[in-house]
Structure 1
Amino acid sequence: MKLHRRELVKAGMSLGAGLALAGGRSLRAQTVDVAPTHFDDGTVRSLAQALAGRSYHAPPKDLPDSLAHMTFDQFSSIQFNPEKTLWGQDHLAFDVQFFPRGYLYKQQVDVFEVENGAAHPITCTADTFSSRDSSLNISAGEGFSGLRIRYALNRPDVMEECAVFLGASYFRAVAKGQNYGLSARGFAKDTGTPTGEEFPVFRAFWLEKPATGSQSLVLHALMDSPSLTGAFRFTIRPGETTLFDVQSTFFPRVDISAGGIAPLTGMYYFDANDRVHVNDWRPAAHDSEALQIWTGAGQNIYRPLTNPTDLQLSSFSDAGPYGYGLMQRKRSFHDYEDLALHYERRPSLWVEPVGNWGRGSVNLVEIPTPSEVNDNIVSFWRPQSPMKAGQSYNFTYRMYWGWDTPWPTHLARIHDTRVGAVTDHPDRVQFVLDFDGEPFRTLSDPASYHLVAQTSTGSIGAITLMPNPDINGIRAFFQLTPGEAKLCELQVQLANMQGPVSETWLYRWTP
């Protein structure tokens, strides 16, 4: 599975015949004369449950050839009419704009505004979109493919994007001062498996009109696929850290053993730990540098990402995790030296379960990529028990789009991971780990610490610690001798006489 960073998704489905709401009425976003229909927090859940009880039918995705076959640049050139901005003249903290259908986004997404308990369809008219390219033949009847939410995130007088829902069940967001990077999804099915991945889609959205002065926005989404349906309620609060409170319910049509809850999708091309096959002038290029997990047993795991030669699947079993996320810790321009892409401004994304999710695993999929245009990293929670057809499953969680994890730690943290050759011993691999953080504020003498290091195969030796005054921390050196092994699982912690003082560094080495 490879996802082009411009594409986000390779397939979508349109709404077709519309959605039956409470009371048996049908609403379609393109039907102008539909009367307002009652809406409450149970409406989308009822829709999803009813939809799961019927056979799946993929609606048509027909579009004029000029729209269906447009290029990315043509799609990007289509302009939304700012006069059509939802709540644009209401002086609220939020407003909403929409994306046209076309290019890879052929799916029609129905959109409704909810006000005073009534749902009103939002229509696409002849003047909603425009383009200087007359060959595109933009008309009023093609509808929407997604939406962007705007908020005065960085300046009180400027409305700008803080979140986008576009393509399958993908969405992304930023915090103050950030650029877009990794994405999230509603559900992941069969990710990284030989059977091929299924991409559920958001078929419709309901936007609750916020009260004057409210700094949160509620958005509901209906998800559908051949294997399951789902109902989502997002409460979005932009800021220094942008929060998404997510309530989700899934209704499987079939038994699902390889499902993924709260999936995160990003890109890792190279860094100092993994650039053997990369010839690039920059120090690094990635949306995220590591998977981080706070386990139910209280262990803090830091797993640097790689761009492997072959697809890699990792699973971290747990019971009731406190959270996990794809993290971007390097925050200096000089970590990347990219004037255009500014990877140092990409958000980290942390998922915090609300309530106990029970037994399962945090899964990580690392897919080989020859460039930075592919989304090649996926992480998600997989319940231990398969999801059964005809049942319902609830998962509530909070997402933190920001600069770091939302919780402080007294542990030393991994500042950097570097991997290279050992000049005099070609059969060995050199590892260099930098630790920084709270333990070194009062004591950074390497003689007070030792490294606890182990490997699943091969052997570890040549361990050395020295101070790193540049980060007020400790630099650790060690060498791996893999022997004939083609895969070594490494685990390292920094410790003193009282025990471990750092998070647990995990790493999968492959040739």
Structure 2
Amino acid sequence: MNLSRRQSLAALGALLTLPSWAHAQTPALRLGPARPFDWGWLIDHAKARAGQPYSEPPRPAPELVEQIDYDAHGKLRLKPDYALWGQEGSVYPITFVHMGRYFPKSIRMHKVESGQAQEVLYDTDYFTVPADHPAQGLPPESSAFAGFWVQESRRSGDWRQREPWVTFVGASYFRSVGALGQVGLSARGIALNVGDPGPEEFPDFTQFWFTPTVREGDPQIVYALLEGPSLTGAYRFVMSRQRGVVMEVEKRLFIRNDIARLGIAPLTSMFWYGEYGEQRLMDWRPEVHDSDGLALWTGAGERIWRPLNNPRRPITSSFQDRDPLGYGLSQRDRDYDHYLDGVNYHHRPTCWIEPLGSWGSGAVQLVELPTDDEIHDNIVAYWMPSEPARAGSSLTYRYRLHWDEFEPFYPVVELARCVATRTGRGGEAGKPRPPGVVKFAIEFDGASLADIPWGARPEVVVTASRGEVSLTRSDPVWYTPRWLASFDLTVSGDEPVELRCYMELEGKTLTENWHYQYHPAT
């Protein structure tokens, strides 16, 4: 995985602080000739492209684009009068992102109306380009679009003063605001060979097509062509602005070359450290992360919570399944005092993947990479089908992405969920602490725990792949409906330990399953 992705998003973040725009006479975007367009045409086009040699998206004037660093990129603002549908024609204006050091490839944009597509032709006049800016030297015939934003409705306030609710920029990355109005983790169109010893491949969305949204509350529909050395793809995004954002995705993939590890519906996030693990003293803030766990709802109905790690070496974990009901990277800790940071980590969205139709057998894979700072995305989660992706084959997938505060089934689900994982020295209070023993304390919250009769204590059920578990107990968290499950682990060596824990009462399961990969300190 490309650790500089986080820096790319930082550059994009600089653009999200919108200035006050000056109003002027409305100019017009330059458009190419009209050509027929529909979903069937795009599928056929992607299939035809897969049968041709791969060619990378254009990189005009790379020596100049390299000079458009973080600060220089922040000066390239699309003038609002050049927004697609900024004045009329659709509910949601589309604004374009300029190329720069972190987004060096040129992407083609198209306006679609009445079944006809017209390419939006680039012009330097669309952007605020200072006289001494490197972008002034770009060849006049080149295109310098790198991505786009979907802005808030122009019918409900001045969209120029508000941040966008969807962003597509860089390779096949995209992201959206959640229910708390904040961006955080990213999704991708596809993930290839993440965590493998060889290089990861990053296909690109090379063209986009935008259709107008006529009525308030209707979805914004965007089509995309994906191209890479190993595959092509036709994508349709049906994106609905709700309290958060819901995206329905359909993709048709056409495989050019055999792919060792094909990641469907991938999510990418950052986890530096939390309330547990050896990185807790690396910074003055209590926690730093965009997501704190992987949530799974298996095809068999089991609910799993896997707290994230910042490991000392790359780790890939697989959760075998068939027809999963969902998975996602979540930010469950919403307490500002747990972050003490002005960048609103406590408001970062959860993104939940809801498969549509049968996905067959495969595994949700979690890739965790080591990082020493918050500027790097080091977490990836995706679905990997059991059947290998062979050259000449084609695949179809449909799913929804829910960008929200919590997983979309919360708080309806009957099982209590994990809200905190903590670690410390093992042993009992008031007695000598034995060396090499670690204590785990897992906090659960949910209606199933609130109904426990007075005086009853749930049983803590723990299993470990190696080592010895002792001192298991459950305790109420007074004045709350929460309960704490705790246990000690005695283990030697530095190989990871797979731990599982849940709570039950009289044979009835009360909580989701906590699955954690513990890395003993060395």
CA distance in 2, matches of 1:56, 1:66: 25
CA distance in 2, matches of 1:335, 1:133: 45
1:65 Cα deviation (Å)? 2.9
1:296 equivalenced with 2:299 (yes/no):
yes
Instruction: Please list, as runs of the form range in 1=range in 2, the aligned pairs for 1:108-507 lying within 5 A after superposition.
Output: 108-132=106-130, 134-138=132-136, 141-152=142-153, 156-158=157-159, 159-276=162-279, 278-339=281-342, 341-407=343-409, 408-422=412-426, 424-443=433-452, 445=454, 447-484=456-493, 486-507=495-516
Range with greater deviation from structure 2 (136-145 or 250-259): 136-145
1:470 Cα deviation (Å)? 4.5
Pick closer, same or farther for the CA change 1:157–1:33 going to 2, 3 Å. closer
Opposite residue 493 of structure 1, the aligned amino acid is Y
Range with greater deviation from structure 2 (129-138 or 485-494): 129-138
Aligned 8 A contact 1:434 1:476 in 2: yes
Deviations 1:261-315 (A, max 9, x none): 0000000011112244642111111010000000000000000001111111100
**SS at 1:66 equivalent:** helix
Instruction: Tell me how many residue pairs correspond in the alignment.
Output: 490
Opposite residue 168 of structure 1, the aligned amino acid is A
Pick closer, same or farther for the CA change 1:446–1:56 going to 2, 3 Å. farther
Deviations 1:120-153 (A, max 9, x none): 1112223111233613243554330100001149
Range with greater deviation from structure 2 (481-490 or 257-266): 481-490
Opposite residue 130 of structure 1, the aligned amino acid is T
CA distance in 1, matches of 2:414, 2:155: 31
**SS at 1:374 equivalent:** coil
Opposite residue 410 of structure 1, the aligned amino acid is E
Aligned 8 A contact 1:290 1:328 in 2: yes
1:3 equivalenced with 2:3 (yes/no):
yes
Opposite residue 290 of structure 1, the aligned amino acid is G
**SS at 1:385 equivalent:** coil
Report the TM-score, using the length of structure 2 for normalisation. Answer: 0.90
1:331 Cα deviation (Å)? 1.1
CA distance in 2, matches of 1:153, 1:271: 40
**SS at 1:80 equivalent:** coil
Q: More strand per residue: 1 or 2?
A: 1
Aligned 8 A contact 1:87 1:94 in 2: yes
1:444 Cα deviation (Å)? 6.2
Opposite residue 472 of structure 2, the aligned amino acid is I
Opposite residue 274 of structure 1, the aligned amino acid is G
Aligned 8 A contact 2:464 2:500 in 1: yes
**SS at 1:226 equivalent:** coil
CA distance in 1, matches of 2:270, 2:310: 9
Opposite residue 234 of structure 2, the aligned amino acid is A
CA distance in 2, matches of 1:238, 1:415: 28
Counterpart pick for 1:97 among 89, 95, 98 = 95
> 1:75 is matched with which residue?
73
Pick closer, same or farther for the CA change 1:311–1:133 going to 2, 3 Å. farther
Opposite residue 412 of structure 1, the aligned amino acid is A
Aligned 8 A contact 1:63 1:106 in 2: no
Aligned 8 A contact 2:321 2:364 in 1: yes
CA distance in 2, matches of 1:76, 1:471: 46
**SS at 1:83 equivalent:** helix
> 1:38 is matched with which residue?
36
Pick closer, same or farther for the CA change 1:446–1:421 going to 2, 3 Å. farther
- Could you tell me the percent identity over the aligned residues? 35
**SS at 1:46 equivalent:** helix
1:487 Cα deviation (Å)? 1.3
**SS at 2:81 equivalent:** helix
**SS at 1:99 equivalent:** strand
Report the TM-score, using the length of structure 1 for normalisation. Answer: 0.92
CA distance in 2, matches of 1:444, 1:150: 51
**SS at 2:121 equivalent:** coil
Aligned 8 A contact 1:250 1:392 in 2: yes
Aligned 8 A contact 2:179 2:349 in 1: no
Which runs of no fewer than 5 residues in structure 2 stay unpaired? 12-28, 427-431
RMSD of aligned residue pairs (Cα, Å): 2.1
1:64 Cα deviation (Å)? 5.8
Which runs of no fewer than 5 residues in structure 1 stay unpaired? 11-30
CA distance in 1, matches of 2:181, 2:479: 26
> 1:15 is matched with which residue?
none
Deviations 1:373-413 (A, max 9, x none): 00000000000010121121000000000001111210011
Aligned 8 A contact 1:273 1:419 in 2: yes
Opposite residue 100 of structure 1, the aligned amino acid is H
CA distance in 1, matches of 2:62, 2:519: 48
Deviations 1:146-179 (A, max 9, x none): 0000114996454530010000000000134321
**SS at 1:90 equivalent:** coil
**SS at 1:448 equivalent:** coil
CA distance in 2, matches of 1:485, 1:3: 26
Deviations 1:25-61 (A, max 9, x none): xxxxxx9674211111112111110000011122541
**SS at 2:45 equivalent:** helix
Range with greater deviation from structure 2 (419-428 or 152-161): 152-161
CA distance in 1, matches of 2:378, 2:116: 41
> 1:22 is matched with which residue?
none
Opposite residue 45 of structure 2, the aligned amino acid is L
Pick closer, same or farther for the CA change 1:444–1:37 going to 2, 3 Å. farther
CA distance in 1, matches of 2:262, 2:179: 32
1:93 Cα deviation (Å)? 2.3
Range with greater deviation from structure 2 (150-159 or 476-485): 150-159
> 2:24 is matched with which residue?
none
> 2:20 is matched with which residue?
none
CA distance in 2, matches of 1:381, 1:124: 37
Deviations 1:458-477 (A, max 9, x none): 11101121110253211122
Pick closer, same or farther for the CA change 1:427–1:52 going to 2, 3 Å. same
**SS at 1:48 equivalent:** helix
CA distance in 1, matches of 2:190, 2:245: 21
**SS at 2:312 equivalent:** coil
Pick closer, same or farther for the CA change 1:388–1:484 going to 2, 3 Å. same
